[in-house]
Structure formats: C-alpha cells, structure tokens
Chain A
Amino acid sequence: MSSNSDTSDPIWEDTRGTDDGRSWIDETIAPGTATDPDVESGDSATVTIDGRSVTLDAGSVLLDGLERTETEGYVPALCSYDHNERIGPRSECRTCMVETEEYGVVPSCSFPAEEGMTVHTDADEASEARDVNLDLLLSNHNLRCTTCGKNGRCELQHVSIENGVEEPRYGVFDDREEYEPMDDSSPFIQIDRNKCILCNRCVEACNDVQVAGVLRMEGSGGDTRIGFQNTEETMMESTCVSCGHCVTVCPTGALVEQGLVDSSTIPLPGFTHKNSIGKIVGGEFTEKPRNATPMIEEEYTENDPVVEVVETRSNERLAGEGDD
C-alpha cells in the first residue's frame, strides 16, 4: 500500500491531510490493517512435506505445498484465501501451524517456501496449536448454526467437523447479553458480528480488490471489529455500493446475502436468524441516506496518524523540501 519512490522525502509525507489535519476518504483508503511484507518465496523451491517431496514455483508459501499433497495431520488454515485473488494471507487464525525442522512451528499460510525445508504436519506442538487455535476461534463465535444462513456452506463449520471438534475446550460465545446487535440496515447484506472471526477477507476484498474503501478493521484487543471507514455504525449509512464481494469471501455467517439469511434455518415457526440474536439495528431505513460514491460525499475518516512530528530544525527542513 505504501511505497515511497522518492526516499529523501520525510516519512510522514505519505499521509495527506486537509487544512484541519484530517484526511479525506476520497484521498486515502484506510483499512486500519498492517502493511505486511511480501511473505512469498523469491525462488522456486523443493520442500519435503511429511516425507513427500513437492516442488513449488517462486511466489509460494508452505501452504501451497500442503495443498498439493496428502498430509498426515489435518491443517484447517481457516482464514487463508487464494492469494492469487489479492486477499491474504492475513494469518490471524493460526490454524495452519506446521512444524519445520529449520524454523520450528510456523504458520504455513504465510511462511515462504524455501529450498530444502522439511515440514511435519503431525508433530505434537503443531497439531496442538491448530486444535487450540480453532477452539479459541469457536470460543468467540456464536455457534447458532441452525438459524444461520451459512449453515452447510460455512468454512468454520466445515473445518470444525473435519478437525473432529465435539466440545470446544473454551466453550462457545453463547451469552445473549453480550451479543452485538445484528446490522440489518442494508437490503442486500446482513452483518452478524457475533459470527465474525476477524479474518479480514472482507476488508481486503473491499479495499484491495474493489477499491471501494468502505470496510475497515477497527478497535483493538477484544473490541476489534469490522467497521466502516466513514465511521458510521450501519451498513446503510456507510459508503457501501453493495457489490457483494465481502459476502462472497466471508468464511462464516457474519456477512450473508439478505435473500439467503434464512435459507438454511430449521423450518420451525418463529425460528429465524434475526431472533437468534434478538437485537437488530438499522431496520428503520427505507432508502439509503447518502450517496454511495464517497468522492461526492464530504465524509471524514478517522485515519489521523498515531504519530506526531516533533518540531525540530531537521523536521522543518525536510518538510520544506517535500513541498518542492
């Protein structure tokens, strides 16, 4: 996202602002996520995975090798996505951990495939890590599959079954008091953050593929959530153009097409996705309260840099040079 061709520019020149110091949404896409380095291999490499030799092209990570061979241990790699689609690797869920003889336990989805590496998928520490991390994901996921529109086509459900999860060790997120209201404002996309695993695929689809600049990652710690770059609370008030890419990439029932929210709900009267949560926001909209195209709207983002430049002679001189 950020490459600086003129390296003598002061570092903060990358961040553009308005007169009052805040950035305009039409100038800066601010997904709130880190700019990861390029984690793919520079050269083609032959690696050994559970005793089998696999040759991978340049631009590969270990997971590419795992996908091309039969592995001893099941490696869910839940949050990963096809990296040719410009999404990921986010490497947040850590259910792709494998043991390597060279570097110990590493995340296969974001570890470059280097020539001669030896990978064991069934090593104790690696399989323990995958099991625990999958259960940690489930601990913060509301497991109300029977009212979920993704029931039967949910990646989290799929890997949990494949991994033999019966009773997640840390339980599931089932305290209704703690549920975040479902965002039902948009006629096209419903958001249930209680099912979100923060894989960031939707944010990348929205920003890096569609360049729509609507979704962002916000907050920190347990308050981390998917939000909107124009800081509004509902999808309808955001600058969403309803392209639907976020829904397509969502691995769980967090983002579902409105027409399909109850497609796989058990047919019992009063048994719906919405009342599985009980709290709804955005039901009152009859039309989109603002233009979808952010360039016309005078919307602020909250992407003020967290750093401040300390006044020094050197800083002033550099800032002056940048204006030339």
Chain B
Amino acid sequence: MTEAGIIGADPAVRIAVGGDTRTTGEELLRSVRETSASVMVAEVGATGLRGLEPLVLATLDGETAFLPRCSVERAQSAVEALDDGSLPTGGAMAVVEHEPGIGRLPTPSDGPLAAGERTVLSACGWAMPTSVEDYRAVGAFVAPDVEAPDEATARLDEAGLRGRGRCDAATDGAIADRWATAREAEGDPAVVVNANEADPRATMDRLLLESAPLAVLDAALAAGYALDATNVLVYCNEADSLAHERASEAVAVLEDELDEPIPIEVLAGPDEYKAGETTMAIEALEGNHRLEARLRPPYPSEEGLHGRPTLVHTPRTLVQVDEVLSKGDGDHDAAADRRTRLFTVHGDDVPSTTVELSADDDLSAAREAVPFDDHLKAACVGGVFGGLTRSLDVPARANALSAAGLGTNGVIELFGDEQCMVAFAGDRAAFGETENCGRCVPCREGTKQLTEMLRDVYHGEYASEKLRELMRVMTNTSICSFGEDAPRPVRTAMNEFEPEFRAHADGRCPAGTCK
C-alpha cells in the first residue's frame, strides 16, 4: 500500500490535477509513462489554481518548468526532453531554480502561483497525496507524539489557533478551548472532519482533502489522541469523489503506519449548503433523513454526535493544527492567531483559485492570482453569505474581516462596474430563502420577508429601516450560522451602495443591468 514518493526524484514529471480535471490528468499520466520508463512520473495533488490544470511540472537538476494546461503531446515531448537530459522550457509559464530534492512546491517569483505564500499548501502540487514517503520527507506524523494531551492543547492555545471556515464548530473561536471542553465532558469523544463545504465558491477544504489528506487526517488523529476519542469521521460532500477516494486511501495508509489507530470512517453527505452547518453535519452523520439545525448550548464539544463530546473541524483548521504541532509556532504573537488563511478567489471567467495569505497580508494580495481587468467596484468576502467591500485593503485575519463587516469563510469574489448591487443582494437573499432548513422563524420567515422586501425595491418601495430591523433580528435570534449570516450580503450592500437601492426604487438601475 505504501507508495514510493516522488519527492527527491530527479528527473521527475509531476501531473498536478484536482477532481475537475482528473480524467485529463489520468490520460496524461498514462501517455507520459508510455513515453519514458526512466523518468519518474507521478500524479500529485492540485496546486489550488484550477485554471492552470492540468499542470505538468518537469524537474531536472534542481530546476522545475511549469507547463500549464498541458496537452498530451506537450507532456510527451517534455518527458522526452528530460530523457535527453534537457529541461523542457518552451511554453513554460515559469522556470524555477531550487534546491534539488526540495520537499515543497518551488514557487515562481511572479505570475498567479506567486500570489500569497504556501505554508499549509506547500505539499499541494508537489507531493503525492497519499504517499507516506513524501509525507515523511518534509516531517513526521504528529499524531503518534500526542501522548501528553494537555501539552498538545497548550501548544494550540499558545498559538491562539482559531477555527477556520463556517463548517468548523470553532469558527473564528479558540480551538484549544473546544478541546479542553471536550476532554472534560462526559462520554467517549468523537472527532468529525467536516469537509462538506457545498458553496462552490469555497473549494479549499476539498483541495486539502484531495491534495494533502495525510496532513488533514494526521491532525484529526492527533485531536483524537489528545481527547482519548473513540471515533474519527470524515464527512465529505457527495459530489467530491476524488476527495472521498483520497481520504479513503489516506485512512488505509494511516492504519498501516500507526500502532493504535483510532477507527476512521469516511462518509459522504448531501451537496447542499445547509448540510455543512456543524450541527446539521452531526445530524447527517447520525443517519437522519432530514437535516435541521440543533439548539445550542450545550455545544457539540459538550454534547454532539450521539450525545458524545464532539470536535468538528474543517480540513482548513486541521492543516493548521498539523503545522502547529509539527513545527511549533515560532515567534508568533501568542495573543492572536497569526497563522495563514486560505482564500478562494474569483475573477474574470476563471475556475476557482485558492491562495494562502499570511496574517500580515491584505486581501489585495490575493487579487494577483486571478485575471481581473475591470475596475473593481466591490468584492464579496466570505462566500455566498459574505459581505461587500469597496476596498481590498483589509488584513486577512478573522478579527479584521469581522470588524469590516465581512465573512470569514475564505472567499473573495471580484465584481466590476456592471454588477448591480441590488440584484446581488436579491440573489443572496433568495438563496437563503430556498436553502434554509426551515426550523426557526427568524431564518425561515425572515429570509422570505427579506427577499420580498428587496423585490419591493423594484416596485418603488425601499424600506431601509424596516430591512435593517429584520436583519438585526435574524442575526441576533437565529438558531445557527445560516440565519445569522444570511443577511450579511444585503446589510453590507445597503451600507456600501445605498444610492443604488434608492435609484432602483425610482425605477433606475445605475449599473444598467436590471430590467
């Protein structure tokens, strides 16, 4: 089962693809292997930049050529060149010199791959996702060393690590607190890896499960050992078949590697936005046929899966846990989470692009990763229920994003002048109306009234105060994050673009796109 790795191989050809370009990648792999028996060829995880896929990386003597959107013929000629002892640089988007046998993706100094940094993404596009050799080449498994549980929790506490993503039960909160709560609570703890992010705008959890499943599961097992947990569950989206496969393969690999593995199950839940909400994820995992949010407190860390203390963490959070436990936290400020965050960026007609920003970066650092030629009218930050901002000069930290009224679910959508903000607000409100679970009044009836009142704007009535009152109550009184977050697009659109709402009430669309 243990696959030989590709890290250290030279010459080498890597084919970096994700779930969407997988078939093309398989074809490339077969063709290239037929062409040369002497060059090491392997499928590696995706880089996060889907627009470059299939991306072929040809390495020779500590130099790597990046061949984006590579055809079979191009890949075959590249491997032939390597066979002849030369680096195929024709048509390369970048050629990077690096230390031979480097364990992390060598990044070009310009172009889309240069945007942000690559810390938790370092293996993506470079290592074979389920190869223990590749995983070991850059570090050791962290889970087996988690024997003194309070020490692991203490290190996370020192790092001030916060949960990342809306599907994390500790989103924007200190994860060390949840671990401590779960340890103290009665019952056998369980750990849920919540990778069911169905917002197509946010693809980073899928990317990590596809490209770095060993790091994700290593950290989940570390959490399991720290809590003395009896079960680890990986909850995927039913549409992400490559993620299921990689997770399953990684489970098998870990079972062989670890002396006392905690049973890990891989399950696939519905491709629905609400199904990722942490308590609805637990409902799904318990086998319910219908999903609705659970009341809290008590929170899942006290009473979750089958009433047991349960940690629910996203792959995004877990790779940070892996970093903290394996490499320590360096000179980071203990008071606040200074670690990186992943953002999926959407510009002009390109597939989703995931980049990693440091806590010192502004969101504008992500803009370079995607083509966007228009004048930036606004960006929606945080996914379907994100907030609008006119400026990307907002630091990529949870508190800074929240302070700016934006969402923290790691999505940046860039909008040009032709985007009507009233239409945007209406679309997002309508999504809330159709996709909510139906349990609580402020969300079920609130999203409906919100959508109706935005329709009324087109009929001449813009009831600003009434809208704000409704949105306040939705955010203050909904059971779960769905209803709390659903008003954010409308609220921020009204804050930033109020004149557009008034213009629509007067029968005019300033962007010229409505009616």
Contacts and interface: CB of A to CB of B under 8 A. Distances in A.
A22 B447 CA distance: 34
A269 interface: no
A132 interface: yes
A93 B265 contact: no
Interface in B75-112: none
Interface stretch (B230-238, B380-388, B399-407): B230-238
Nearest to A42: B298
Contacts of B437: 220-221, 224
Contacts of A133: 441-442, 473, 477
A220 B231 CA distance: 30
B216 interface: no
Contacts of A7: 187-188, 230-231, 306, 308
A105 interface: yes
Interface stretch (B52-60, B245-253, B358-366): B245-253
B267 A36 contact: no
Contact of B476 (A15, A125, A222, A306): A125
Contacts of B445: 136-137, 139-140, 170
B479 A198 contact: no
Contacts of B433: 221-222
Interface in B215-264: 230-231, 233, 235-236, 238, 244, 247-248, 251-252, 255, 263-264
B473 A8 contact: no
A310 interface: yes
B294 A8 contact: no
Interface stretch (B66-74, B132-140, B284-292, B342-350): B284-292
Nearest to B289: A303
The bracket for how many chain B residues form the interface is: 35 or more
Interface in B431-480: 433-442, 444-449, 452, 466, 469-470, 472-473, 476-479
B43 interface: no
A224 B294 CA distance: 16
Contacts of A72: none
A289 interface: no
Nearest to B275: A306
Nearest to A13: B287
Contacts of B439: 34, 92, 224
A306 B477 contact: no
Interface string A86-120: 00010111110100000011010011100000000
A313 B293 CA distance: 31
Given A34-B292, A132-B470, A137 B441 contact: yes
Given A94-B442, A307-B269, A312-B266, A35 B248 contact: no
Contacts of B514: none
Given A128-B469, A133-B442, A198-B438, A315 B477 contact: no
Interface string B269-285: 11000110001100111
Contacts of A95: 441
B373 to A, nearest CB: 38
B267 A314 contact: no
B265 A314 contact: yes
Contacts of B285: 11, 307
A313 B265 contact: no
Contacts of B172: none
A252 to B, nearest CB: 14
Contacts of A312: 247-248, 251-252, 264-266
A318 B438 contact: no
Interface string A214-228: 000111111110000
A11 B265 contact: yes
B486 to A, nearest CB: 11
A43 interface: no
Interface in A27-46: 30, 32-39
B438 A219 contact: yes
A47 B274 CA distance: 36
Contacts of A308: 238, 267-268
A159 interface: no
Contact of B296 (A10, A37, A303): A37
A3 B235 contact: no
A172 interface: no
A318 B263 contact: yes
Contact of A97 (B266, B308, B438, B477): B477
Given A110-B295, A136-B442, A313-B255, A30 B289 contact: yes
A221 B435 contact: yes
A226 B365 CA distance: 50
A152 interface: no
A34 B288 contact: yes
Contact of B284 (A36, A169, A307): A307
A311 interface: yes
A93 to B, nearest CB: 5
Given A2-B306, A97-B476, A217 B290 contact: yes
B409 to A, nearest CB: 21
A36 B291 CA distance: 12
Contacts of B188: 7
B217 to A, nearest CB: 11
A91 B479 contact: yes
Given A11-B285, A198-B438, A307-B268, A3 B307 contact: yes
Contacts of A223: 438
A34 B294 contact: yes
Contact of B306 (A3, A34, A170, A197): A3
Top 8 A-B residue pairs of the complex, sorted by shortest distance between their CB atoms: A224-B438, A15-B287, A37-B303, A312-B248, A136-B445, A303-B289, A32-B290, A305-B287
Given A303-B289, A309-B266, 16 more contacts: A2-B307, A10-B265, A11-B231, A11-B233, A11-B287, A38-B303, A94-B477, A110-B295, A133-B442, A198-B438, A220-B292, A220-B435, A224-B437, A306-B288, A312-B247, A312-B264
18 contacts: A2-B306, A3-B306, A7-B187, A10-B263, A11-B265, A12-B287, A32-B289, A35-B283, A128-B473, A139-B445, A170-B445, A220-B274, A220-B291, A221-B438, A221-B444, A307-B284, A313-B255, A314-B265
Interface of B: 187-188, 190, 230-231, 233, 235-236, 238, 244, 247-248, 251-252, 255, 263-270, 274-275, 279-280, 283-298, 302-308, 433-442, 444-449, 452, 466, 469-470, 472-473, 476-479
